[in-house]
Amino acid sequence: MTGVNRAAVVAGIVVAGALTLAQARDGGALTNGLVWGSQKVVQGARTVVGAIAGLFYEDQALAADAPSSAQRQSRGVSAQEGAYFVWHGSVETGQTVEIKGVNGAIVAERAAGTEIEVRAEKRARRSDPDEVRIEVLEHAGGVTVCAVYPSSRGRENTCEPGSGGRNSVRNNDVRVTFYVSVPEGVGFLGKTVNGDVEVNDLASDVRAESVNGDIEISTTGFAEAKTINGSIDAAMERYNIVSGLSFSTVNGSISLDLPDDVDADIDAGWVNGRLDAADLPFQLVGRVSRRSARGVLGEGGPELKLRTVNGSIRIF
């Protein structure tokens, strides 16, 4: 291995590790599961053979809009007993149902009617599932449902919409799996740290985040996603013609099924992989380098930003 390659490996380890910890701290959750995630990042980063500085874009908030002064209301009905939780309620069309987990997967599907259903199942090997409560916060932007772990070091864990709230996990192995039914026209935002996010056949706009987990999305609206250790597979029938879309990962591939009539400017970057856009009317702007490409889909338009380190990018 040359000195340049050794430097690239070190850079990959540092950047990927820093991204993993940064994402976890953003969610206020630093769990034992991140040890596994960090190991996976290091293994993937050893294969990095080029400089990756400047590859990743500045973090963008993928959060439902809601005022920080949101108050609990009584639009929904919930039941919580032991390891199981169920909530039924409704929000206005165009509002968002937001799920905020830490350890565990999030699975969403289209609701048959206009009612939202959120089910949560708690499992643990050593810790007490009853110590993790499921909290529902109804607000002007929709509804936020959180898995709230026991507070530690005198700092209270809280459930708040969007980027607000705190949920630090220490020595607690409870895993909470959320199952959500989302009505047509109601946006969905799913966020977890250690777990997959699976969104099936929704009829609304979707945003999904994880740290150690894959993301799969299918919707008639538009989609946006980011993870660290995992792949992204998304299919959408609409494109965000106001602000564009972004998808990012470190260790994983990105596969996007875009609308047939999409007009967008493509900004793609990778290290170990390649870009495949052969099935689309994609016109390059300049030359394709070994690690990046820019181009235009259709007439061009709001930017589609794609980033990975260890993985390929496919758009079709």
pLDDT in tens, the chain (316 residues): 444 333 433 344 334 444 443 444 444 433 333 333 434 433 443 333 333 333 333 333 333 333 333 334 346 776 765 689 999 999 999 999 999 999 999 999 999 999 999 999 999 999 999 999 999 999 999 999 999 999 877 788 899 998 888 777 878 999 999 999 999 999 999 999 999 999 999 999 999 999 999 999 999 999 999 999 999 999 999 999 999 999 999 999 999 999 989 999 999 999 999 999 988 888 999 877 889 999 999 999 999 999 999 999 999 9
- 208: its two tokens: 């999904």
Is the CB of residue 259 less than 8 Å from the CB of residue 239? yes
- 298: its two tokens: 């259709």
Burial of residue 126 (CB within 10 Å: 0-12, 13-18, 19+) is: exposed
CA–CA separation, 110 vs 143, rounded Å? 16
In this prediction, residue 63 carries a pLDDT of 35
In this prediction, residue 39 carries a pLDDT of 41
Q: Which of 128, 115, 117 is nearest to 86 (CA)?
A: 117
With vertex at residue 170, the alpha carbon angle to CA 167 and CA 175, rounded to the nearest 5 degrees, is: 70
Chain-wide mean pLDDT for the chain?
81
Please report how many Cα atoms fall inside a 13 Å half-sphere around the Cα of residue 146, on the Cβ side: 22
In this prediction, residue 176 carries a pLDDT of 97
Residue 43 phi, psi (nearest 5): -60, -45
Please give the DSSP secondary-structure letter assigned to residue 79.
E
SS3 65: coil
User: Facing residues of 217 across strands?
Assistant: 199, 234
Residue 215 phi, psi (nearest 5): -125, 125
- 74: its two tokens: 């009584």
Please give the DSSP secondary-structure letter assigned to residue 59.
P
Is the CB of residue 126 less than 8 Å from the CB of residue 94? no
Q: Which of 23, 62, 27 is nearest to 207 (CA)?
A: 62
- 86: its two tokens: 């169920």
CA–CA separation, 213 vs 236, rounded Å? 20
User: Facing residues of 116 across strands?
Assistant: 89
Is the CB of residue 161 less than 8 Å from the CB of residue 64? yes
**Strands ordered across the beta sheet of 187-191:** 133-139, 142-148, 96-100, 187-191, 206-209, 223-226, 245-248, 303-307, 264-269, 292-297, 282-284
What type of residue sits at position 196? D
Q: Which of 201, 205, 178, 225 is nearest to 96 (CA)?
A: 205
